Structure 1
Amino acid sequence: MLMADALFSQVGGEIAEQRLITKRAKVLVGVSGGVDSIVLLHVLNALASANSWKLAVAHFNHRLRGRDSNSDERFVRRLADRLGLRCFVGEADVSALAKNAGESIEMAARKARHQFFADAAREWGCRRIALAHHSDDQIELFFIRLLRGAGIDGLTGMPAVSPSPADKRLSLVRPLLGISRTEIEAFAQRLKLKFREDSSNRDTRHLRNRVRHDLLPILRGNFQPGLDQVILRTLQQLGDEKELADQAAGFLSEKSIAFEELPAAAKRRIIHAQLIRKCETPSFKLIDALVDSNAPVVHSEGKALRRVGGELVEVESVSAFEDEPELVLTPMRAWQTRSLGSRTVRFRVQSGKMDKARKDPDEELFDFDRIGPNITLRHWRPGDRYRPIGMKQSKKLQDCFVNQKIPKTLRHQLLVATTAGGEIFWVEGLRIAEFVKLTSGTRGILRWQLEQL
């Protein structure tokens, strides 16, 4: 029983140290019937009394393996009954779900399974769902995401605690992340635990199985015998650096720096954080699309987002603004005049410092280097935001219009000027933006005048 005692102690220590499960908590344990989830259930059940935990079992039948899937379900039901635990069982035709959604079976299975877990957790009144992912899963996931292409978020692996993708109010906890598959199997053998074998785990048509059975043995045998520890150490380092990057991006986003002038990594971290807050999946493709352009980008369920400076706003559709007129201006040293609707703007660039710039009563002065060579002139759009000079945070233009008592009938006629990246620096009738104010470092000045026809 030495190994069993050691594993009980190791898992219990991880749970306590990371506060994965607090005293007197209710925990829904995801149990497929495989060795990993069976070991997780037995360990948590053994630790439950000392921690006053209340456990329940959740099993999802994916209906992918015919009689074997039904046998797995019966096995888990009987085990839960023998342990005196409530058992929640759900099922779905995952193949049909995948076909209808036009996605892989693995993705459809994951979505359906997490939705079932969330539904069962809410029904039972618990906020924690325990899953049996272990350190080998982390290593396999690292290579899967590396092969598919991933940023720092993907390569850091699974955290010990994360929100459920089906309900952000629920937490997924992974008490076995510090345990290897070899340790889990040895524990099951020593305690003579019965479990189900999933034949699909040997099917190398799936990328995970090719990584597990083909790639990793080659890497361990021919390149790095200590591969597992190397990768796990790399995951820890990447996690630490991700935390630093998030803090740095948050710090930069609060400064008076135009989004377009931020380092590429900071831009991605800022957009990533906003997608998480909006409960959207921060895919590499979506983040890059929003960083590179201020055009509307379609994401989940046909919704669209667009970036306004460094802020993400939701729009009704990609075509919502296609027919609205806008002008692209390229300021030079000579005065230029351009008209949009009933308004005309005059503008030019001059060299000079802030203390030598004299402002006429009917014009605004901007730091041209903060704007860039091209300007977009357009009308106000719902969702527009900017940070007025002297303020610490951005505001919706609609809120600014309400505060200024500008009638709704006039708002769509008001002009807005943005950088090439979509960051608003001037709004007709309002203060200029904070990031384009003249400073001691200003070397190029944009002179800007508005005329009404």
Structure 2
Amino acid sequence: MDTNLVAKVEQRIIEQKLIDSGDVVVIAVSGGSDSVALLHVLFTLSRRYGWKLVVAHVNHRFRGAESDEEANFVVALAARLELPCEIGDIDVPAYIEETSMNGQAAAREKRYAFLHEVADKHQAQCIAFAHHADDQAETVMMRLLRGTGPSGLVGMPERRLEKKVELIRPFLRIYKSELVQYCAEHEIAYCQDSSNALRKYFRNQVRLDVLPMLKQYNEQFSESLNRLTELMCEEDDYLEKETLQVFKRIVTKCHEMYRLERASFTELHVALQRRLIKLILNCLCLGMDRLDFTKVESIRELILKQRASNHVLEVDEQLYIVREYEAVHFQSFAPSLRPYQYQVELSASEMSLPEADIKLVYSLIYSASTLASVHSLTAMDVYLDLDQLELPLSIRSRKPGDRLEPHGLNGSKKVKDMFIDAKMPLSRREVIPLLVDASGQVLWIVGFRRSKHALVGPDTKHVLHMKLMLK
């Protein structure tokens, strides 16, 4: 059995070019059966290929004396094999308390950081992990339960470049039972991690409860999941290459933003549309774990929507999608839209504001019977004493220093501060219209607040009524 296992791993390393002759390889050894088996297999092959092995272990301090015993075990094992050994003693519980991170995520972050330090110290080309086929099946099931797209079904990659070092997993096609049997046949000692039996961890719940239950319906369920992963890996690789070609063809970089033409995007298959959006966001160095399906769809729908006006979608504080007619910009900073100003022609009855994607309708009221009842209970419209206005009126975007004297309050306040107090998105602040008179006096922040000027009263003879209409 041992010969078969070593031969299978050797063949996979050669086929996938996981390790080259003469490479320095850091092996992550926890002390459990999987990592100890990996160390023995790579040690067996190392003389043939001239590999230089370095043992690395992280004591996370999760399990007190048990964690210390595992660290001592790994040190002794490396000494018997006459291999250099690096021990990372990290107080992960303290780090969790400091950062409020998830326990397993915090441990992973610290573990990978230490392994990269070891790789850098020894000028290693690879870091080898003992993740196996059962781990892969668990990972895919966890993603299915939490919700995932096709890329999530790819599972853990056999190799991945990170910080100029290859992260490799030579055991991804080997099942746990083979590793345990390998250790038994060679009388190789290893440690038992008591936390593997704790159901407070999601992975343990999947391993101990979910997969055994599903195997009642299909004894080869883990194998089926891994076959799905292999198929999705190949299809995902093909689609990624197609997406990259589309990116090169229709996307351009301009002033720290990425631009595409709507017409080119609409011609793409929906699968490529979604992947292209994610690829662009990756180019902006935005973490994709922040973007769920709903957000990606909101971006896609903005691009596809039939409209010939400007629009800004603030996905979050680090991502803005700016639609300017047929051009679409992806950027990680708030858009600085061009200032706009339009004169209100009282002879007309409406005006469109493409920058804000709204329309204003207005009318003059001269009837004495109507004047007695005009008022507005919302910010969606405003009634103004026309005779108190300094004409002409204008609708424009906000300018630095703009102030409003709010109706019902004493004094004045900066328009900018009013927006901040209302927690108005930055992108919206730049487009919301202001109604001003010829002197620059702000009369109405459209859809938000009116001023105390030109109020309609008992002596009012002529009224200007303006109403906000959403397109």
Q: Render the CA deviation track for 1:413-437: whole Å, top value 9, x for unaligned.
A: xxx9xxxxxxxxxxxxxxxxxxxxx
Q: What is the aligned residue count? A: 324
CA distance in 1, matches of 2:351, 2:27: 68
Q: Secondary structure at the match of 1:132?
A: coil
Q: Which residue of 2 is the match for residue 231 of structure 1? A: 225
CA distance in 1, matches of 2:35, 2:329: 42
Closer, same or farther: CA 37–260 of 1 in aligned 2, 3 Å = same
Q: Which residue of 1 is the match for residue 319 of structure 2? A: 305
Percent pairwise identity: 33
Q: Which residue of 1 is the match for residue 313 of structure 2? A: 295
Q: Render the CA deviation track for 1:249-268: whole Å, top value 9, x for unaligned.
A: 33444246443564442232
Q: Render the CA deviation track for 1:383-407: whole Å, top value 9, x for unaligned.
A: xxxxxxxxxxxxxxxxxxxxxxxxx
Q: Which residue of 2 is the match for residue 107 of structure 1? A: 105
Q: Which residue of 2 is the match for residue 265 of structure 1? A: 271
1:336-375 alignment runs, 5 A limit? none
Q: Which residue of 2 is the match for residue 148 of structure 1? A: 146
Q: Render the CA deviation track for 1:168-210: whole Å, top value 9, x for unaligned.
A: x221000001100000100010001111100000101111111
1:196 to 185, 191, 200: 191
1:29-48 alignment runs, 5 A limit? 29-48=27-46
Is 1:56 the counterpart of 2:58 in the alignment?
no
Amino acid at match of 1:198: D
Closer, same or farther: CA 339–201 of 1 in aligned 2, 3 Å = closer
CA distance in 1, matches of 2:192, 2:130: 15
Amino acid at match of 1:234: L
CA distance in 1, matches of 2:86, 2:332: 37
CA distance in 1, matches of 2:76, 2:178: 25
Closer, same or farther: CA 311–323 of 1 in aligned 2, 3 Å = closer
Q: Which residue of 2 is the match for residue 360 of structure 1? A: none
Displacement after TM superposition at 1:325 (Å):
5.8
1:220 to 206, 215, 220: 215
Is the 1:203–1:209 Cα contact (8 Å) retained in structure 2?
yes
CA distance in 1, matches of 2:37, 2:81: 13
Amino acid at match of 1:230: S
Closer, same or farther: CA 87–98 of 1 in aligned 2, 3 Å = same
Closer, same or farther: CA 279–47 of 1 in aligned 2, 3 Å = farther
CA distance in 1, matches of 2:46, 2:274: 42
Q: Which moved more, 1:23-32 or 1:287-296?
A: 287-296
Q: Which residue of 2 is the match for residue 248 of structure 1? A: 242
Displacement after TM superposition at 1:150 (Å):
1.3
Closer, same or farther: CA 116–155 of 1 in aligned 2, 3 Å = same
Q: Which residue of 2 is the match for residue 136 of structure 1? A: 134
Q: Which residue of 1 is the match for residue 2 of structure 2? A: 4
CA distance in 2, matches of 1:297, 1:163: 29
Is the 1:340–1:378 Cα contact (8 Å) retained in structure 2?
no
Amino acid at match of 1:304: Q
Is 1:127 the counterpart of 2:133 in the alignment?
no
Q: Secondary structure at the match of 2:215?
A: helix
Q: Which residue of 2 is the match for residue 211 of structure 1? A: 206
Q: Secondary structure at the match of 1:175?
A: coil
CA distance in 2, matches of 1:322, 1:310: 15
Closer, same or farther: CA 58–311 of 1 in aligned 2, 3 Å = farther
Displacement after TM superposition at 1:88 (Å):
1.2
Q: Secondary structure at the match of 2:34?
A: helix
Is the 1:268–1:287 Cα contact (8 Å) retained in structure 2?
no
Q: Secondary structure at the match of 2:271?
A: helix
Amino acid at match of 1:202: A
Is the 2:284–2:332 Cα contact (8 Å) retained in structure 1?
no
